A = this chain, B = another copy of it.
């Protein structure tokens, strides 16, 4: 069994019992964290642990890897393709025509492109809702990252039953694959694209498969108006009335939630993926994060797809979460640095149903990131590692990324991915996709 001893670093464990351990050490055996040691424990721990490869983290910070709790990975192909447009114009005129022309291989390469970017910025787990999900799962399996995957299901149009069937097959085929790195959920897209009868079918399938749900919820004012007009309920109330929250549920966005909605989310233990960058860029609004946290809602952070962000950098979402709620609420104590970091680590892990990750604790899965810290101008003079990570660090500071006990990125080199080939294929496929879409538009 492969073992690593990570030594001499400052551990930001996100374990509430022992938050920051300067000069600590971590022993990884196989897929898991075997020991987390403070400085004294590390000093007396035999450095001659036979067979353990030493990783010297002197002058560096060791953190749990970030969890990207909501996104559509392959949409990296559409990064900066269409920006600064109203949501429906952006979707209907620019994004959907491209998505209609997507081929399975596009999704495979687009997902690999997203994984390059996510690993380089310290993300070790991502939640994903898209289509051609076999391709996404294949990319996760090959790359070594952890993925919480679902086929996004729209309940209208031709044959929604086919999407349920695909989802069931996807869950049966992929759940637990990749040494357990792949977990699966059902993915009803949103209350405005899935009528109640369809959501009830989804719930039936959920009971049969015993998997969680991912859904978009209360993203825009338009969605709230639509639900009120059609069902005389808010989106949260509607989904609750259908008993969907009896399943473990991850609800993305929750921008437009009333105090009553927040009570429901908390009482039903619904997890929320807060996507500050995407919500700002699409002008959806600003979710009441402080109020959700106060109510005890489990919240993670997500980037959403790269076409509405336009990047997959979790440090940026952490910073946005820490900054915007202070400005909007006029309270400089809102979402302090440590809370923002929780959202991206232990909070995100709980949000995506993986309580076995998200902190550096003995027995947990070894998903971690080492950041450069000492000797970095924009982090000097190193007064406070948590504040420095939240308010000043960037992807350039990522030194090493480990998922499931395997080193996937070190010294800017990927161990399992061919970066050049992925860049080549994604550019080639994007060009072909654009010309297919242009051809369709003419026809």
Contacts and interface: CB of A to CB of B under 8 A. Distances in A.
A440 interface: no
A286 B426 contact: no
A323 B277 contact: yes
B80 A313 contact: no
A327 interface: yes
Contact of A333 (B85, B121, B375): B85
A419 interface: yes
A410 interface: no
Interface in A268-309: 277, 279-286, 306, 309
A311 to B, nearest CB: 4
A384 B85 CA distance: 15
A9 to B, nearest CB: 18
Contacts of A323: 277, 280-281, 320
Contacts of A394: 313, 394-396
Contacts of A419: 377
Interface in A97-133: 113, 116-117, 120-121
Interface in A402-432: 419-420, 422-423, 426-427, 430
A384 B94 CA distance: 14
Contacts of A285: 327, 330
Given A76-B380, A327-B286, A388-B79, A333 B84 contact: yes
B327 A280 contact: yes
Given A79-B388, A80-B383, A309-B391, A86 B332 contact: yes
Interface in A65-113: 76-81, 83-87, 90, 113
B281 A311 contact: no
Contact of A423 (B283, B332, B375, B396): B375
Interface string A308-327: 01111100100110111011
Contacts of A426: 380-381
A380 B423 contact: yes
Interface centre among A316, A322, A422 (most CB of B within 10 A): A316
Given A310-B391, A394-B395, A395-B394, A79 B380 contact: yes
A392 interface: yes
A329 interface: yes
A326 B117 CA distance: 25
Contact of A388 (B310, B324, B420): B310
Contacts of A309: 391-392
Given A79-B392, A332-B87, A387-B83, A382 B326 contact: no
A10 to B, nearest CB: 14
B326 A324 contact: no
Contacts of A284: 327, 330
Interface string A207-227: 000000000000001000000
Interface of A: 76-81, 83-87, 90, 113, 116-117, 120-121, 221, 277, 279-286, 306, 309-313, 316, 319-320, 322-324, 326-334, 336-337, 375, 377-384, 387-388, 391-392, 394-396, 419-420, 422-423, 426-427, 430
21 contacts: A77-B381, A79-B380, A79-B381, A80-B391, A83-B384, A84-B336, A85-B333, A87-B332, A117-B377, A277-B323, A279-B327, A280-B326, A283-B329, A284-B327, A310-B392, A378-B395, A380-B426, A382-B427, A394-B394, A394-B396, A395-B396
Given A283-B329, A310-B387, 6 more contacts: A77-B381, A84-B337, A309-B392, A310-B392, A316-B319, A394-B396
